[in-house]
Chains A and B, each alone.
Chain A
Amino acid sequence: MNGAVDVLIATLLRELRAYFLTPLAYIFIAIFLVSLGAFTFEIGGFFDRGRADLASFFLFHPWLYLVFLPAIGMRLWSEEIRSGGIELVMTLPGRIWAIVAGKFLAAWTVAAVALALTFPMWLSVSWLGAPDHAAIALSYVMSLLLAGGYLAIVSAMSALGSSQVVAFVLSVAVGFLFTVAGLPLVQAGVVGVLGPAIGEIASSLSLLAHFDAAQRGVLELRSVFFYLSFIVMWLALTTLWVDMRREKP
């Protein structure tokens, strides 16, 4: 077991170096933050609402994650599978999940750094009025989990697709489905075809629905469970698919 954890840490550090010792992470973070800020103030109507809360800020997290996170996650597996470099590090099957986890955590760290760098928003809104700090803190935690969810999808799609572009497109598509599962457009179709019970299940598996609930300031056990199990599911699938794509000797 110890060996696996070592592999995880080694992978994590290696990927973090790849992210932060190249312009990659910085460019991503900069563009992501500018977009989020622009959306919050211009489209979210931050000042027009006149409320000292971050609702118009968190509103855009799912949608920006959907589009931006595949960009940092798509490289996770595609290159290694294509170049065959995967063989060099995966001699023992038990280690695959450690590598999967390590890569995922590295990408999640980049997302976490980006999220952390939005702290000026929290400071600004505190200066403007008296916001509900507990609700904001909770929203940040859930946003981090949400980001993990999208990255987990990307991780799996990256293992599936042979090129980064394919991984990107698939990630956005699958992520989109899980985001809109709770929205009327999808619900109407699902309920019409599969019945209301399936419709309710579908909306309870929506990334967006669980995030919305958290923003009210209530931490629900089943939302936390949902995000964690979502991440675990996709990482398990990643492990499975990476294993499958190895050339058998």
Chain B
Amino acid sequence: MTRRTYTLIASLLIVLLFAAANVAVSRWFSGARADFTGNKLYTLSASADRVLRRLVEPVQLEFVYSRSVGAQFPNIQSHATRVRELLREIEARADGKVILRETNPTPFSDEEDRVALAGLTPVNEDGDPLFFGVIGRNTVDDVIVIPFLSPDRDAFLEYDLMRLIAQLDDPSPPVIALLSGLPGFDGDGRTEGSAFILREMSRFFQVRPLTPDFDEIPADTDILMLVNPPPLDEARQYQIEQFLLSKGRALIALDPASRIASATGSRQTSSSLGTLSETLHVSLAAIAVADPVLALPVEVDAGGGRTNVVGQPLFIAVPRALMATEDPVTGDLSRPINLGVAGALEASDTERLSIETLLESSAEAMSFPADLAVYGPDPRTVFDGMQGPAGARTLAVRISGPLQSAYVGGPPPGVSENRPSSGPPVQEPVDANVVVIADSDFLADGFHIDPSSGDPVADNAAFVLNALDNLAGGAALSELRSRAPALRPMSRIEEMRREAETRMFEEQRALEAQLAEFEGRLEQLEGDRRAALLTERSARQANDPDIERLREQILATRSQLREVERSYRSEIEGVESMLVVLNVWGMPLVAAIAGLGVFIWRSRRRAAAR
């Protein structure tokens, strides 16, 4: 054998060995990984273990994936790999209670029909359909599916799978009776145009919408959800109170000023607890909270076709730091909750009930009139109209303990005749668990969904689902929910922006006041002069020096105003430029100098050696 042949064969063998070794390792060691992410996104969590250990009857999971079609899309393929690995890990940890099998349906086969009938929705990509879902079965032949495993829901993968398993274990989802006065947040969540949160709710709960003229709260209701509820008559308020006394589970979203309602022309732009305030010992103050520190950025017109990004104090992003850390509803949230014109909750003294704050504003928050807030004032108006004293406002609470009926004298008139099924007043109230939040707009897509990707950018949905899950009694599952990768913003830049715009507003206000004064005086002077011209009929050609001076002052003030707007961003831009220079040129310069140094040193040595 010549050397060349030997080399060729040896080379091929080496390459094959490499490929084979990697395929083998990839298969056998697929689970060997160390999760360094901040939220441990890729490790099967302890909560998942708990759910698996609770399984009594075995559960069958069929992973359906059209491999050949999926291979054409790298993000689908890599997600499929992850799903497969996670399922294998679940099977391994479930100790025989989870049976896994994988199906690769070929196009136009019976198998394809079967999985489609089971409820999987394929994605048709110019031809062969791509199936990518999970069919779950339990021992009583219930079938629950995840119709399509979107790579976008990557961070929720573990939750979705564990939820599927938990549902198979206990197939009856809790029933939520929803009474909503928030436009867009109604129905049972199964229709296409529903709000994101409502759709998510309908995936895990049975949502039963209630109309404001409801006859009764359905007997099998587990949780009552009130969202910007319309004013109800006494009889219905009584029914609600009785539900709270008997079942004791509710999520109530009130609003002093609903932007969504006002923007869509609905008349019901605010809501309150009514008589329930007495029962729950919590009431909603009729003001909107304006928080300059937690203000979400909005675009405002800066005139001349330009826009600036400034903070709107009425739109509050409650960060992790201002959430209750030990409560399972908020304890695991990693992103802020965006509220849109929220109110403040006030708790009255009670020894029976425990009222814990779940969300609160910063210590710099002030009040702004709710009846003005409802029309969507621009940030400048809000800054001008905010009133003290500054202090933290309570935005959401959890009320727990035995409630007492506010109807001390028995049911109000009108109850017994019209609603025979309401039953006698509840004598032994259960330990209630009620979550009240002083905003309803946060449930709408506009406050937490990125319009281009359709993904949530805040934990509004997680908060609601955690709360509902917790109220339904599944604390273990709620830990799984918000493993979404936390958005880490450039906080220093954002703080600089906030400070700059506070300064800008102040300077602008001062300058504009001055400008208004000058212009007023100019008008007056010109008016006088015109009047003088008319009466005297003498053509005064020379310009009045006063008027001239005023005009100059006005021009100067206007250019100062423009300067303020221009310099508003200049500090931030300065920082950015400095960082660019430092990073792009800093070390290269060091390297170049080092190289030069070496070069000089070498040539000196060479010169000395000669």
Say yes or no: is B541 at the interface (Cβ < 8 Å to chain A).
no
Please, which residues of chain B bring their CB within 8 A of the CB of A23? 595, 598-599
Interchain CA distance A223-B36 in the complex, whole Å: 15
Residues of A within 8 A of B25 (CB): 221-222, 225-226
| A204 adjacent to chain B (CB < 8 Å) | yes
Q: A34-B584, A196-B71 are in contact. Are A221 and B32 (CB under 8 A)?
A: yes
A117 at interface, CB cutoff 8 A:
yes
Q: How far is the CA of A230 from the CA of B15 in the complex (A)?
A: 9
For A31, the closest partner residue in chain B by CB is: B588
Interface residues on A, range: 35 or more
The answer, among B7, B17, B37, B489, for a CB contact under 8 Å with A244, is B7
Segment at the A interface, from B188-196, B233-241, B574-582: B574-582
B487, B493, B582, B596: which contacts A120 (Cβ < 8 A)? B582
Interface size on B, as a range, is 35 or more
Q: How far is the CA of A41 from the CA of B586 in the complex (A)?
A: 14
**Is the CB of A63 closer than 8 A to any CB of chain B?**
no
Within 8 Å CB of A196, what residues of B? 67-68, 70-71
Q: Are A127 and B22 in contact (CB under 8 A)?
A: no
* B296 CB, min distance to chain A CBs, angstroms: 14
Report A-chain residues with C-beta under 8 Å of the C-beta of B140.
none
Query: How far is B583's CA from A217's CA once the two chains are assembled, in angstroms?
Result: 24
For residue B410, CB closer than 8 A to chain A, the reply is no
Are B36's CB and A217's CB within 8 A?
Answer: yes
Assembled-state Cα–Cα distance A79/B273 (Å): 85
Q: Is B114 located at the chain interface by the 8 A CB criterion? A: no
From the candidates A25, A27, A138, A237, name the one contacting B36 in the complex (CB within 8 A): A138
CB-defined contacts of B71 to chain A, threshold 8 Å: 187, 191, 196, 199-200
Q: For the complex, what is the distance from the CA of A191 to the CA of B73, rounded to whole Å?
A: 11
- A131, A187, A221 pick with most chain B CB within 10 angstroms: A221
Most buried by B among A40, A128, A138, A187: A128
| Proximity bits, B64-101, A CB within 8 Å = 1, else 0 | 00011011111001100000000000000000000000
Q: Digitize B46-79: 1 where CB-to-A-CB distance is under 8 Å, 0 elsewhere.
A: 0000000000000000000001101111100110
CB of A18 closer than 8 Å to a CB of B: no
Q: Does B123 contact A (CB under 8 A)?
A: no
Q: Using Cβ atoms and an 8 Å threshold, which residues of chain A touch B592?
A: 26-27, 30
Cβ contacts under 8 Å, B23 to chain A: 201, 204
Binary A-proximity of B587-604 (CB < 8 A = 1, otherwise 0): 111111011101100100
Are A117 and B72 in contact, CB atoms less than 8 angstroms apart?
no
Name the one of A31, A118, A132, A233 contacting B38, with C-beta atoms under 8 angstroms: A132
- Which of B4, B37, B491 contacts A218 (CB under 8 A)? B37
B42 touches which one: A38, A216, A222 (CB < 8 A)? A216
- Which residues on the A side are within 8 Å of B595 (C-beta)? 23, 25-27, 30
Q: Across the interface, which residues of A come within 8 angstroms of B26, CB to CB?
A: 204, 222
Q: Do A237 and B11 touch (CB < 8 A)? A: yes
B488 at interface by CB-CB < 8 Å? yes
Interface residues of B in 1-58 (CB under 8 A from A): 3-4, 7, 10-11, 14-15, 17-19, 21-23, 25-26, 29-30, 32-38, 41-42
| Residue interface mask B328-359, A partner, CB < 8 A = 1 | 00000000000000000000000000000000
Given A50-B490, A127-B492, A129-B488, also A182-B14 (CB < 8 A) = no
Can you list 23 A-B pairs, Cβ within 8 angstroms, ordered by A?
A: A30-B591, A31-B588, A41-B583, A117-B587, A128-B491, A132-B488, A191-B68, A203-B78, A204-B26, A216-B41, A217-B37, A217-B38, A217-B41, A218-B42, A219-B33, A219-B35, A220-B32, A222-B22, A225-B25, A233-B17, A237-B15, A241-B7, A244-B3
User: What 8 A-B pairs come out closest when comparing CB atoms?
Assistant: A26-B595, A37-B584, A217-B37, A221-B32, A134-B36, A196-B71, A30-B588, A233-B18
B interface residues, Cβ below 8 angstroms from A? 3-4, 7, 10-11, 14-15, 17-19, 21-23, 25-26, 29-30, 32-38, 41-42, 67-68, 70-74, 77-78, 487-493, 576, 579-580, 582-592, 594-596, 598-599, 602
